[in-house]
Structure 1
């Protein structure tokens, strides 16, 4: 394309000046619109992003995963968001299949290959990993061995010594038990139920009971495991041979109103800077060197079959709660 002639420069300058005036005396505003499913984590990430990109105004909508994904899908014909992120792996795949995302590979990405979508539609930024909080004093009092694997938990010696979150009320419980069904089958869950003292309403309930010595073993998620131990409780953190987990990430909305700014934000999310923020509040980050959990020390379980949580909860209630 030819360069503008000398005569055209005043006209270009006039247009630029008019745009400057219309923008209130400031450079034309840049913005990015983000849908997210974790308000507190989003706030921390946006704060760090703004320090690096003060010229980009970040607007965001926060909510739970289901409504956020449904909104993005409903708006697909005329997208209002540029990025959807901090949603779980099930929602990421749902958004991909619905055509909400378009492929984008962040520049200079530090994210491990295992956390990248094979087709490039999204990246996962962290994993919440599931573990056991084991009360060593309770084990000694009862003469029980330290469990090493999840399979150990169905041993008769642990009868009524285990607590875990109910999958009917807790995403943590759902992640743990759907993994058990995927890896070991429903018979394992039925046998495990014989040893369950209580299904808690929340994800940290099992850890609380184990920390208090009311049961020997509580199943929960990583940050609660570490918090329980840091509180001085006589507990050991045990990861089984496989690690149930929930991953969360995000992607570029196809046809979003601010694609250039959206890509800058996604570049940031794939960086060490974002991982440093996440590492303070999550178990395992997709960028090595951050977070509470060393991914080299565990084996994240990759689900072999898709999970229909509504059907799973119905079957759990029928098979387990009626025992």
Structure 2
């Protein structure tokens, strides 16, 4: 009897051990490490998008490389022969168009793409990049400092060239910042090249510093370091909410704008996971997260009213806005801009 019991126990242990061994490889299977290059603002990047995506996709771990749009674009182009990233996310459409022209992005229509506003994505089908949200130019004006200095409130871009503003304005450097580049390309498209360069020559006389971030000019205005900062509405809204004494000015001539977009690097080594991320970024869930910061998102009907942002904000955006033109002419425009104005660039 004892022999039968012992034999049975041994068989049971053997079966249990075999089951445990067969299950072990699955349990120990490592997560897919997805390398994502991004220009998304840090306060949005990890807290919301990463957490929400990984909750829905527990077998994928996002590893971020974050910098400003110009730096990320240069990094991607330098790695063209040996791409490192799997996905580009939250980078300006003008840069995504350039990457597409270089043959670096995978044509891919994500799930749910048909629910998005087609105006805010690549017009090719399948698209090489898909829009997330729109960001547009704004002037941050410190009302307290302006009163001390006797500065009138500017209403337009052309007001900023008045001599009273000399040394009182900061602006993003267009080679480093997508916001700086959208300002320059909007002026060139609105007024034509000859008039736009004349305008930028005059504006340069009043610029104290070209900084390497689209956010920094508004932060500087908010702190009173400089009374006027050319920035973008996401950061302006955040600075205003923080209690800084600023007013947001949306110049009447029209606003330069760009689109934060996502796309897949054609040579990604983790293609299935990359597609899942771009699918998710095109979802209603991801767009609802974006409405915490952006007044215009790609999914229609979700945007919320934001403090300081006018109801007619979308109608103020410069149209048409040719991202392919901005991409094709990027090197030429930046070379000309740097030749004229780089002497006032912030030290890196």
Please tell me the TM-score bracket, short chain as reference. 0.7 to 0.9
Q: Could you say if the C-alpha distance between residues 134 and 90 of structure 1 is closer, same or farther in structure 2, counting changes exceeding 3 Å?
A: same
Distance in 1, Cα, partners of 2:103 & 2:310 = 34
Give the distance between the partners of 1:216 and 1:28, measured in 2 at CA: 55
The equivalent of 2:12 in structure 1 is: none
C-alpha separation in 1, matches of 2:220 and 2:152: 18
Label 1:222 to 1:71 Cα distance change in 2 as closer, same or farther (>3 A): same
Q: Is the contact between residue 30 and residue 261 of structure 1 (CA under 8 Å) also seen in structure 2?
A: no
Contact 1:69 1:91 in 2 (8 A): no
Q: Does 1:85 align with 2:89?
A: yes
Q: Name the residue aligned to 1:148.
A: 155
1:319 aligns with 2:336: no
Cα separation, partners in 2 of 1:161 and 1:35, compared to 1, 3 Å = closer
Conserved? CA contact 2:88–2:264, under 8 Å:
yes
Question: What is aligned with 1:35?
Answer: 36
In 2, the alpha carbon distance for the partners of 1:195 and 1:134 equals: 15
The structure with the largest helix share of the pair is: 2
Q: TM-score, normalised on structure 1?
A: 0.74
2:317 alignment partner, SS class? coil
C-alpha deviation, 1:320, in angstroms: 3.8
Task: Tell me what 2:299 maps to.
Answer: 287
1:300 aligns with 2:317: yes
Shift of 1:107: 2.1
Counterpart residue number, 1:14:
none
Q: Note if contact 1:133-1:238 (Cα within 8 Å) is conserved in structure 2.
A: yes
Query: How far 1:268 sits from its partner (Å)?
Result: 1.1
Look up the match of 1:126.
Answer: 133
**Separation in 2, partners of 1:131, 1:48:** 30
Tell me the number of residue pairs that the alignment of Structure 1 and Structure 2 aligns.
302
Contact kept? 1:29, 1:57, Cα under 8 Å:
no
Match of 1:165 among 146, 153, 172: 172
Deviations 1:168-214 (A, max 9, x none): 66554343234333433100111222333444454444334433556
User: Cα offset for 1:303?
Assistant: 4.1
Residue 36 of structure 1 contacts residue 68 of structure 1 at CA under 8 Å; is this kept in 2?
Answer: no
Measured in 1, the distance between the counterparts of 2:271 and 2:215 equals 39
| Residue 9 of structure 2: aligned partner | none
Deviation at 1:148? 2.4
5+ long unaligned stretches in structure 2: 1-17
Q: 1:280 to 1:151 in 2, by over 3 A?
A: same
**What do residues 5-37 of structure 1 show as CA deviations (whole Å, max 9, x unaligned)?**
xxxxxxxxxxxx99x938724598884734322
Return the match for 1:98 from 99, 102, 125: 102
| 1:89–1:247 contact (8 Å) kept in structure 2 | yes
| 8 Å CA contact 2:37, 2:85 repeated in 1 | no
Confirm or deny: 8 A CA contact 1:34 1:85 kept in the other structure. Answer: no
Q: What is the match of residue 5 of structure 2?
A: none
Give 1:239 shift. 1.4
Question: Does the CA contact (< 8 Å) of 1:252 and 1:263 recur in 2?
Answer: yes
1:275 correspondence with 2:275: no
My pick for the range that moved more, 248-257 or 234-243, is: 248-257
Name the SS of the counterpart of 1:306 in structure 2: helix
Change (3 A) 1:260 1:138: closer
C-alpha displacement of 1:275 = 1.9
Which one of the candidate residues 230, 249, 255 is aligned to 2:241?
Answer: 230
Q: Indicate whether 1:47 and 2:59 are aligned.
A: no
Asked if the contact 1:181/1:189 (under 8 Å) is kept, the reply is no
Asked if the contact 2:215/2:235 (under 8 Å) is kept, the reply is yes
- Could you say if the C-alpha distance between residues 95 and 159 of structure 1 is closer, same or farther in structure 2, counting changes exceeding 3 Å? closer
1:263 and 2:275 aligned: yes
- Farther off after superposition, 260-269 or 283-292: 283-292
Contact 1:129-1:284 within 8 A present in 2 as well:
no
Asked if 1:114 corresponds to 2:119, the answer is yes
Distance of 1:321 and 1:72 partners within structure 2 = 26
Aligned Cα root-mean-square deviation (Å)? 3.8
In structure 2, how many angstroms separate the alpha carbons of the residues matched to 1:269 and 1:57? Answer: 14
